[in-house]
Amino acid sequence: MSSYTAPVADIRFALHDVLGVEALFQRLGLSEATADIIDAVLEEAARFSGTVLAPLNSVGDEIGSVFDKSTAAVTTPPGFKQAYDQFVEGGWTGLTAAPEFGGQGLPHTLGVPLNEMVNAANLAWGNFPLLSHGAVEALKHHGEAWQQEVFLKPLIEGRWTGTMCLTEPHCGTDLGLLKTRAEPNADGSYSITGTKIFITAGEHDLTDNIVHLVLAKLPDAPPGPKGISLFVTPKFKVARDGTVGERNALACGSIEHKMGIKASVTCVMNFDGAQGYLVGQPHKGLQAMFTMMNTARLGVGLQGIGLSERAYQNALRYSRERLQSRSLSGAKFPDKPADPIIVQPDVRRMLLTIKSLTEGSRLLALHAATLIDVAHHAQDPAERERADTLVSFLTPISKACQTEWGIENTYHALQCFGGHGYIHEHGMEQLARDARITTLYEGTTGIQALDLMGRKTAASQAAGLKLFLAEIEAFAREHEGDADLAEFIKPLRDQASEWAMLTREVLERAARDPEEIGAASYDYLFYSGYVVLAYWWARSVAAARGKDTNLATAKRETARFYYARILPRTMAHAAHIRSGAKALMALDEALFG
Amino acid sequence: MSSYTAPVADIRFALHDVLGVEALFQRLGLSEATADIIDAVLEEAARFSGTVLAPLNSVGDEIGSVFDKSTAAVTTPPGFKQAYDQFVEGGWTGLTAAPEFGGQGLPHTLGVPLNEMVNAANLAWGNFPLLSHGAVEALKHHGEAWQQEVFLKPLIEGRWTGTMCLTEPHCGTDLGLLKTRAEPNADGSYSITGTKIFITAGEHDLTDNIVHLVLAKLPDAPPGPKGISLFVTPKFKVARDGTVGERNALACGSIEHKMGIKASVTCVMNFDGAQGYLVGQPHKGLQAMFTMMNTARLGVGLQGIGLSERAYQNALRYSRERLQSRSLSGAKFPDKPADPIIVQPDVRRMLLTIKSLTEGSRLLALHAATLIDVAHHAQDPAERERADTLVSFLTPISKACQTEWGIENTYHALQCFGGHGYIHEHGMEQLARDARITTLYEGTTGIQALDLMGRKTAASQAAGLKLFLAEIEAFAREHEGDADLAEFIKPLRDQASEWAMLTREVLERAARDPEEIGAASYDYLFYSGYVVLAYWWARSVAAARGKDTNLATAKRETARFYYARILPRTMAHAAHIRSGAKALMALDEALFG
């Protein structure tokens, strides 16, 4: 079994030393979030995730959630409900939610370490509370007052959970094709009919009610994505006064058998004239859906970090314990029968790859979270807008890169174990299987790439990129002539220039041929992700100076590794981008095989 | 469920058009292997793998092989024994084996397409016959005459299977640490005592007897890898006259629960004074083991190709069928509700990545196989030695790259399915789980990389590399001024020069610091693999000219994709290599976390 201890020290370094969140929170008027409170949240989240959730991870994988066809009920693995009750009791579901709906009103940023820890400890379990956030966001921004009154409190308190019912058998990415219908009733409600698939936590035994946010088409809907509306459709009917009534006409039809996250329930949901209420304007459901999805995407990005961290801890332990062969430069532990494999350069390559991608990603994710707090709480509207633009730009990078790196990292960690990594009992193969979902759900990597290159870059004059480049340049200027940082500043600046140039080149080509957007998107996404992390590694070195010597040394050497052994991947991505669409589009579809 | 049809046309293209095997076989005196025979073997292997083995693939995954603790017996999944009997009846186990031991005496090269197909159709099933090859090779080259007489025939006829018993709980890579002992008996046999783990096909119900090739230490063994001897130790005792006697003192203690290849049995084998016979010289077991391992390594490389091919076929089918969104340059199928996803550049990127790596790998593997035939059958000793040097050099590249690409390719193929790829019923996740073992067993990728960079390059004055570079140069000269090939010849030559230069740089640095070998090894391995495939893609374009127009077009456009979108990966690998060992070795072991 793999073990997990929350990396509180590195999270504290990121929050306090690199991002300076305490001062930021004060400036934003989030004055309750003092250093003491932040540290207390981290310590308590670490305790809960490490002692309550982590031990349930392998049980969840082995037993899984079970569907009973005769009752359409789902039973979660042993211990899941008790853990969920403790989570609710601890107030974790409302940590960052608005106090007027029962939340604790702490900054959004503080939810990120919590989620990283939950995901690391037990990814499948974490999917139950995760989706509630999306439902809360959708209702908060688009729901009528009575809907907020009735649904938000139980969702935030964790007494109910939420879902996002988007996908149908014939449509996932292209929601314009969806067939689920909503017929208006005399009482102002709607009858929802249709089949949704891949509904995470669509049915379970953790809470009394489940609040489904469902995309459907009204009778007068225009065709395509502009004809989609959003409905709130609970498992048990809820009246406008909040009274919970009879069972609604919806049920789980079956659950999927998956490669991993076996305790997370993936439901086929059948709506047979279920009572629902319109959320937001008719035919404007796609917009409300994006509200849900952006939250969920950043959340899935954290799954990549959590799994990477757990993978790293176990690979590191094994690499220190496993005695095999000698160092090429002579025995390092001559008193032992062989050296631990961590003396081998190639094992170090794998470990440092995981370490540098994970700690770098943590800053990418936490920075994005601070931007959300700024976008919500800054006094200056320009600052709010700037933060919003930047976080929109970073969202697809964060989601896609962190999850792809999560897969890469769990791969390396398993590889450190040799053949033992392939055996179930060591727990490494579960991490790899669990990680595999993260680049698929909430928009595949290809979809994130298209979002970044198309909507967030081509369609917005690269507004987000410009803001990020300005951050890099400000940092570089601040440390101009700083001999200690020169080894990072120069390559970072070069890389930033190339990033800008590549962007211009793609947009120029795209003006003539729109396929250039799709052709560049995947490599552009990774190019961007690697430069973003290069920035955070340079800032980490700067922030660690003068702190604890071991920390400063570890950050500097890991940054050097990153610049020498990871950042050059951008060379291949740049070459791929520059080769253009032709190499992808030339072969006739009929000749593929 | 995923489907599979053997890619006979592409294999024929590789064998006949690119490698010209018919003429080669004639020259080597393997005159029975005419074009007709070759094609008949391919057709029949395609039929067997597609209709008998492929349908058992998901059954094998779902039911797995089952161990009965009370009898220490293993039951393979339904249909596996019948399929094995048909395989034996068809003479497939002896296809390329020597006629004096019941084989058909066909060239080694013809075993490669057979194995590719078997692996694609049913990887787990394929592991049962696979390991017999290693045992046959070890006995053929190192066994006494009576051992060959008694063991080879039933192994080659498939009546018995073989195993390689190397790994122990505390040692895999570092066999010098092994503890299994062999005590001499009065009758010239030995009593073997110890525990071996990860023994593929160590116990099963497919054959009457199982022949274990076991590494153990004699009482007077010098310490370390130079004190290892090899023993043949059958499940049922076999006398020198071939009489099969009572059960030997060895048994399967348990089987592992694995991420994939669930029908392949991975045994803990307990030897309790089991009767064995020394194979080869005392303390020279490591040499005999390498004979087994090289065969097995090339065999595992074929597993990567087989899985990639099956993954490709299914991803291609899905990408043609799945209707979702429109092409960025306007609807391509306006009569349909949406375009098939194969119109999307990013889906094409994934498909062409699989296609180019798989077809390229097929040539790498088949070329290596022809070299084995040359090494065995060429009249000129210099030609034999040259072929042997080259195939030794190519073996770690073939094993490691083809398996790593297998993992990459099954990743892309699953990704083409979106969320559906994560669901068991589509069969794509099984391919990904099955693929994950291939970079671990028979030497991890790190071990292959060290073999290439250390033994096969540093320790041998880059003899193999020089031969391969000479092949590239000969091809480039042959096509000098050929306008049609210029787009490939120029970059191929540049790449070959850089390969030579990188090699010199590493060897120079390694003369001062041996850690440079390990630090460069992984990236050097991949650098090498990508250049090797670039060579085969250029040769494929040359070979396809003047053939069927569709084939010529597909090969040319896939080669262009490869040069534009895959080969630039070498830029990152070169930069990593050039950054040296420092970035890997600087961080103190205590500061990793």
Nearest residue to B65 via CA among B252, B228, B263: B263
Residues B252 and B271: beta-carbon distance below 8 Å: no
Geometric angle at alpha carbon A303, from B404 and A235, rounded to 5°: 125
Handedness of CA A352, A353, A355, A359 (dihedral sign): positive
Mark yes or no for CB contact B586/A440 under 8 Å.
no
Would you give per-residue pLDDT tens digits along chain B (593 residues)?
A: 899 999 999 999 999 999 999 999 999 999 999 999 999 999 999 999 999 999 999 999 999 999 999 999 999 999 999 999 999 999 999 999 999 999 999 999 999 999 999 999 999 999 999 989 889 999 999 999 999 999 999 999 999 999 999 999 998 888 889 999 999 999 999 999 999 999 999 999 999 999 999 999 999 999 988 999 999 999 999 999 999 999 999 999 999 999 999 999 999 999 999 999 999 999 999 888 887 788 899 999 999 999 999 999 999 999 999 999 999 999 999 999 999 999 999 999 999 999 999 999 999 999 999 999 999 999 999 999 999 999 999 999 999 999 999 999 999 999 999 999 999 999 999 999 999 999 999 999 999 999 999 999 999 999 999 999 999 999 999 999 999 999 999 999 999 999 999 999 999 999 999 999 999 999 999 999 999 999 999 999 999 998 899 999 999 999 999 999 999 999 999 999 999 999 999 999 999 99
A348 vs A320: CA distance, rounded Å: 11
How far CA A144 is from CA of A282, A319, B556, in Å, comes to 13, 56, 59
Q: What's chain A's average pLDDT? A: 97
Helix (H) or strand (E) holding A230: strand A229-234
Min distance A586 CA to chain B CA atoms (Å): 7
Q: Which two tokens stand for residue B279?
A: 């194979």
- What is the residue whose two structure tokens read 């995901």? A119
Min distance B279 CA to chain A CA atoms (Å): 25
Residue A195 DSSP SS3: strand
H helices then E strands: how many in chain B?
19, 11
CATH 2.40.110.20 applies to domain A160-283:
yes
Architecture of domain A444-593 in CATH? Up-down Bundle (1.20)
What one-letter code names the amino acid at A329? S
Helix (H) or strand (E) holding B340: none
- The alpha helices in A417-568, defined as continuous H runs, are 428-435, 445-450, 463-478, 486-512, 515-544, 549-565
Q: Nearest residue on chain A to B344, judged by CA atoms?
A: A518
At A179 the pLDDT is 96
- What is the residue whose two structure tokens read 């919806």? A250
Nearest residue to B264 via CA among B80, B514, B23: B80
Helix (H) or strand (E) holding A586: none
Pairing mode of beta strands A244-247, A209-216: unpaired
Q: Which two tokens stand for residue A263?
A: 């305790």
Mark yes or no for CB contact A553/B591 under 8 Å.
yes
Give which of B259, B326, B431 to mutate to test A binding, by max A Cβ within 10 Å. B259
Q: What is the ipTM of this complex?
A: 0.97
A228 vs B496: CA distance, rounded Å: 56
Chain A contact present for B337, CB below 8 A: yes
Residues B547 and A521: beta-carbon distance below 8 Å: no
Q: Which two tokens stand for residue B251?
A: 């048994």
CATH 1.20.120 applies to domain B446-583:
yes
Mark yes or no for CB contact A327/B515 under 8 Å.
yes
B306 vs B127: CA distance, rounded Å: 13
Architecture of domain A8-67+76-136 in CATH? Orthogonal Bundle (1.10)
- What is the residue whose two structure tokens read 């009154």? A149
Whether B183 is a known active-site residue: answer no
Residues B545 and B482: beta-carbon distance below 8 Å: no
Q: Do domains B8-67+74-142 and B446-583 have the same CATH topology?
A: no
Could you report how far apart the first and last alpha carbons of chain B are, in Å?
A: 43
At A465 the pLDDT is 98
A159 burial class (0-12, 13-18, 19+ CB within 10 angstroms)?
middle
Could you report how far apart the first and last alpha carbons of chain A are, in Å?
A: 43
Longest dimension (CA), chain B: 84
B591 vs B593: CA distance, rounded Å: 5
Handedness of CA A37, A38, A43, A49 (dihedral sign): positive
What residues pair up with B199 in beta bridges, in sequence order? B267
Give which of A256, A328, A342 to mutate to test B binding, by max B Cβ within 10 Å. A328
Min distance B324 CA to chain A CA atoms (Å): 5
3-state secondary structure string across B408-440? HHHHHHHHHCHHHHHEHHHCHHHHHHHHCCCCC
Residues A508 and A580: beta-carbon distance below 8 Å: no
A276 vs A273: CA distance, rounded Å: 9
The domain covering B8-67+74-142 belongs, at the CATH homologous superfamily level, to Acyl-CoA dehydrogenase/oxidase, N-terminal domain (1.10.540.10)
Residues B57 and B122: beta-carbon distance below 8 Å: yes
Q: Which two tokens stand for residue B123?
A: 């990887």
* Boundaries of every domain in chain A: 8-67+76-136, 160-283, 444-593
Residues A433 and A384: beta-carbon distance below 8 Å: no
CATH 2.60.40.10 applies to domain B161-289:
no
Q: Which two tokens stand for residue A447?
A: 């979809």
